[in-house]
């Protein structure tokens, strides 16, 4: 398999073309947005809680296949888990799911959604933005 | 009357001057279509810098010893080459800077802070690179001046019919415009804008970052007041650019960076400034980089800027229809006769980052992003574009490889 087939493997293209959890939650309990200024990827994430549990989570955005597919995968991963658990989620868990080798630039694409989600949880439940994200949060213009 | 044959550019021959093309990328020859971001370097320039470091290097404008004098001569020799390159009246008007961004910041701060205030208007264009946009927006904000932009139409050209309404907003003080758009390739009517600016009593600031590598420049014919260009986009090294400014304006201006070399006399109470251009060149300058810029000016001059401009036009005439063949591809920017060798496009349903990634595996290097043109991107209604840009070493078959690669992009995302 060539590098290209590897990067744009079927599952990535499938998530890109048919994103899971795509949309907006009206009256969401928490929401956040972020951009990747390097390439103009944009992601907004909406969360509704049942207690501490993430009852529903949706995203909308535009950007490269990696950023949008990784965010789509993330939606499936976190639904039903607690805010605290997801706030502490190791990025490797998502990257394993994405399952392709990424250069530093593409890594930022893949992690955009996770950063935005953690920001939404921080806003909604006061969970910490872990140190490892502090630098990246600035890069990603998280607000 | 003698008929002189038009100089012709032989890209295949020139290509052999560039060591970078001796390698393969992902097992394929390198098709470098990102020269608008930065050009590759010919051995001639690399050798000139190495030789300078090996034989003539010392700090400049200080040493009374032989080496210091030779280094100073090389540095000032490069300044004279830069002067001739843009047909400036005097080397006093030629200030070495880090790049065009530094040149434009110098003007925005050193001229803008003292000459702008409430009721004044600074006009840029919607297609400015952030380097000729953000400094003006910022300094206008600091001084209370208004900030406005000449809009761009669907073809990617300036809407000059909007000029009069911009002029009614207040006292027009600055018009800042790029000569050639870095994302669309549009060649702007700089002479016409200069006449308008001067008619309104404003100064004209020209960003020539994308013009200098590709077409002859003559600041006296353009009639502008300030112009910036950079070495690294025209076969020279990074870290060296030029700000040209009209002497009387430079003389009136306060200095920008302060420190060594830019002073005449320093006492505990007071400091006076050095004469031009030293007044704007604080600290040790980019010495070897200036030598490299001088060599790049020689190299590009040898190729011939007229020949270069004609050759890029040929490449454009070939590239535009070939790209238009790709289904779902949307081209941005004006017709070939009104643009330089820069082509921005969108492939329907595929983000430019993915386009560029797939092209990379074909050995084709293109730029994907907003090209430091975020206001323009929002005008075009896209987050980013893919951009291919040409230079004196670009071959027609590289455009074929770009087109083939774009068909692969379509297949991957079908």
* B119 and B234 inside one domain: yes
Domain span at residue B223 reads: 48-301
* B264 and B245 inside one domain: yes
In angstroms, what CA-CA distances link B23 with A33, B18, B30, B31?
42, 11, 7, 11
CA dist., res. B284 & res. B261, Å (int)? 8
Question: Active-site positions of B?
Answer: 372
Last residue of a domain, one of B266, B285, B301: B301
Edge to edge, what strands does the sheet with A30-36 contain? Answer: A30-36, A41-50, A53-62
Please indicate, yes or no, if residue B199 is contained in any of the structural domains: yes
* B26 and B98 inside one domain: no
pLDDT above 60 (res A139): no
- Top residue of A3, A4, A106 to mutate, by most chain B CBs within 10 Å, is A4
Instruction: Round the average pLDDT of chain B to a whole number and report it.
Output: 96
Would you call B178 helix, strand, or coil by DSSP?
A: strand
Subunit contact A63:B361, Cβ cutoff 8 A: no
ipTM associated with this complex: 0.83
Cis? peptide before A36, omega within 30° of 0: no
pLDDT above 70 (res A131): no
Please indicate, yes or no, if residue A139 is contained in any of the structural domains: no
Helices (H) and strands (E) in chain A, counts: 7, 3
Please indicate, yes or no, if residue A49 is contained in any of the structural domains: yes
pLDDT above 50 (res A143): no
Q: Look up residue B169 and give its two tokens.
A: 């907003």
∠ at Cα B413 (B376, B377), nearest 5°?
A: 5
Please indicate, yes or no, if residue B5 is contained in any of the structural domains: no
Please indicate, yes or no, if residue B38 is contained in any of the structural domains: no
Please indicate, yes or no, if residue B144 is contained in any of the structural domains: yes
pLDDT above 90 (res A35): no
* B114 and B211 inside one domain: yes
Q: CATH no. for residue B134?
A: 3.40.640.10
Which chain B residues are closer than 8 Å to A65 by Cβ? 350-351, 354, 413
- Is A141 an interface residue toward B (CB < 8 Å)? no
User: Residue A45 has what pLDDT?
Assistant: 97
* B290 and B161 inside one domain: yes
pLDDT above 60 (res A137): no
* B321 and B287 inside one domain: no
d(CA B205, nearest CA chain A) in Å: 27
User: Residue A5 has what pLDDT?
Assistant: 61
Q: Give the list of residues 6+ apart from residue A84 with CB closer than 8 angstroms, or none.
A: A52, A125, A127
Please indicate, yes or no, if residue B40 is contained in any of the structural domains: no
* B288 and B367 inside one domain: no
Q: CATH no. for residue A112?
A: 3.90.1010.10
pLDDT above 80 (res A39): no
Please indicate, yes or no, if residue B1 is contained in any of the structural domains: no
* B161 and B297 inside one domain: yes
d(CA B348, nearest CA chain A) in Å: 12
User: Residue B9 has what pLDDT?
Assistant: 94
Instruction: Round the average pLDDT of chain A to a whole number and report it.
Output: 87
User: How do B120-125 and B171-178 pair as beta strands?
Assistant: parallel
Please indicate, yes or no, if residue A141 is contained in any of the structural domains: no
Return phi, psi of residue A26, to 5°. Answer: -65, 135
Please indicate, yes or no, if residue A135 is contained in any of the structural domains: no
Please indicate, yes or no, if residue B39 is contained in any of the structural domains: no
Last residue of a domain, one of B301, B317, B340: B301
d(CA B156, nearest CA chain A) in Å: 20
In chain A, how many domains are there? 1
Q: CATH no. for residue B353?
A: 3.90.1150.10
User: Residue B407 has what pLDDT?
Assistant: 97
Domain span at residue A122 reads: 3-128
Confidence at A37, pLDDT banded by 50, 70, 90: confident
- Is A107 an interface residue toward B (CB < 8 Å)? no
- In a structure prediction context, what are the per-residue pLDDT tens digits for chain B, which is 414 residues long? 455 567 889 999 999 999 999 999 999 999 999 999 999 999 999 999 999 999 999 999 887 899 999 999 999 999 999 999 999 999 999 999 999 999 999 999 999 999 999 999 999 999 999 999 999 999 999 999 999 999 999 899 999 999 999 989 999 999 999 999 999 999 999 999 999 999 999 999 999 999 999 999 999 999 999 999 999 999 999 999 999 999 999 999 999 999 999 999 999 999 999 999 999 999 999 999 999 999 999 999 999 999 999 999 999 999 999 999 999 999 999 999 999 999 999 999 999 999 999 999 999 999 998 888 888 988 888 888 999 999 999 999 999 999 999 999 999 998
Please indicate, yes or no, if residue B259 is contained in any of the structural domains: yes
- Top residue of B26, B183, B353, B377 to mutate, by most chain A CBs within 10 Å, is B353
Which chain A residues are closer than 8 Å to B377 by Cβ? 40
In chain B, how many domains are there? 2
* B180 and B297 inside one domain: yes
In angstroms, what CA-CA distances link A57 with A73, A80, B184?
12, 9, 39
Please indicate, yes or no, if residue A51 is contained in any of the structural domains: yes
Please indicate, yes or no, if residue A104 is contained in any of the structural domains: yes
* B357 and B223 inside one domain: no
Q: From B26, which residue of chain A is nearest by alpha-carbon distance?
A: A3
Q: Look up residue A67 and give its two tokens.
A: 């950023």
Which chain B residues are closer than 8 Å to A66 by Cβ? 353-354
Report helix angle B305-324 to B396-412, nearest 10: 30
- Residue with the larger pLDDT of the pair B144 and A62: B144
Classify the C-alpha dihedral A15-A17-A21-A24 as positive or negative: positive
User: Residue A132 has what pLDDT?
Assistant: 52
* B256 and B272 inside one domain: yes
Last residue of a domain, one of B236, B266, B301: B301
User: Residue B336 has what pLDDT?
Assistant: 93
Question: How many of the other CB atoms lie within 10 Å of CB of B24?
Answer: 10
* B224 and B313 inside one domain: no
CB nearest A65 (choices: B354, B370, B383)? B354
Strand (E) or helix (H) holding B32:
strand B31-32
């Amino acid at each position: 398999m060539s590098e290209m087939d590897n990067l744009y493997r079927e599952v990535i293209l499938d998530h890109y073309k048919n994103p899971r959890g795509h949309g907006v939650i009206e009256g969401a309990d928490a929401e956040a947005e972020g951009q990747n200024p390097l390439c103009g990827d944009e992601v907004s994430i909406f969360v509704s809680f049942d207690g501490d549990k993430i009852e529903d989570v949706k995203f909308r955005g535009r950007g490269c296949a990696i950023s949008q597919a990784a965010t789509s995968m993330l939606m499936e991963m976190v639904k039903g888990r607690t805010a605290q658990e997801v706030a502490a989620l190791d990025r490797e868990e998502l990257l394993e799911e994405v399952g392709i080798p990424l250069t530093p630039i593409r890594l930022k694409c893949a992690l955009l959604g996770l950063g935005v989600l953690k920001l939404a949880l921080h806003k909604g439940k006061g969970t910490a933005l872990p140190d490892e994200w502090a630098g990246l949060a600035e890069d990603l213009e998280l607000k | 009357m003698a008929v002189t044959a038009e100089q012709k550019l032989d890209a295949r021959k020139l290509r052999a001057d560039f060591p970078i093309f001796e390698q393969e990328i992902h097992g394929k020859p390198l098709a470098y279509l990102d020269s608008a971001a930065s050009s590759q370097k010919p051995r001639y320039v690399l050798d000139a810098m190495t030789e300078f470091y090996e034989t003539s290097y010392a700090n400049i404008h200080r040493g009374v010893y032989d080496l210091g004098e030779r280094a100073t001569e090389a540095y000032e020799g490069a300044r004279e080459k830069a002067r001739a390159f843009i047909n400036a009246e005097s080397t006093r008007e030629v200030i070495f800077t880090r790049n065009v961004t530094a040149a434009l910041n110098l003007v925005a701060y050193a001229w803008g802070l003292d000459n702008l205030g409430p009721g004044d208007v600074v006009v840029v264009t919607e297609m400015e690179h952030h380097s000729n946009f953000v400094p003006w927006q910022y300094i206008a904000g600091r001084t209370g001046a208004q900030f406005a932009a000449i809009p761009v139409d669907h073809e990617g050209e300036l809407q000059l019919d909007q000029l009069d309404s911009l002029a009614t907003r207040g006292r027009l003080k600055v018009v800042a415009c790029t000569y050639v758009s870095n994302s669309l390739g549009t060649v702007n009517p700089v002479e016409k804008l200069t006449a308008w600016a001067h008619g309104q009593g404003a100064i004209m600031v020209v960003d020539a970052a994308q013009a200098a590598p590709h077409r002859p420049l003559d600041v006296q014919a353009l009639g502008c007041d300030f112009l910036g260009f950079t070495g690294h986009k025209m076969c020279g090294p990074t870290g060296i650019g030029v700000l040209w400014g009209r002497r009387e304006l430079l003389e009136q201006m306060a200095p920008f960076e302060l420190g060594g070399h830019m002073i005449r006399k320093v006492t505990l109470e007071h400091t006076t400034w050095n004469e031009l251009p030293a007044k704007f060149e604080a600290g040790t300058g980019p010495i070897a980089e200036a030598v490299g810029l001088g060599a790049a000016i020689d190299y590009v001059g040898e190729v011939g800027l007229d020949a270069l401009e004609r050759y890029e036009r040929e490449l454009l005439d070939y590239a535009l229809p070939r790209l238009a063949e790709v289904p779902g591809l949307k081209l941005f920017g004006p017709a070939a006769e009104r643009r330089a060798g820069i082509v921005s496009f969108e492939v329907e349903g595929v983000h430019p980052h993915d386009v560029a990634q797939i092209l990379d595996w074909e050995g084709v290097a293109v730029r994907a992003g907003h090209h430091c043109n975020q206001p323009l991107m929002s005008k075009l209604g896209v987050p980013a574009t893919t951009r291919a840009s040409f230079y004196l070493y670009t071959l027609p078959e590289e455009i074929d490889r770009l087109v083939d690669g774009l068909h692969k992009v379509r297949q991957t995302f079908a």
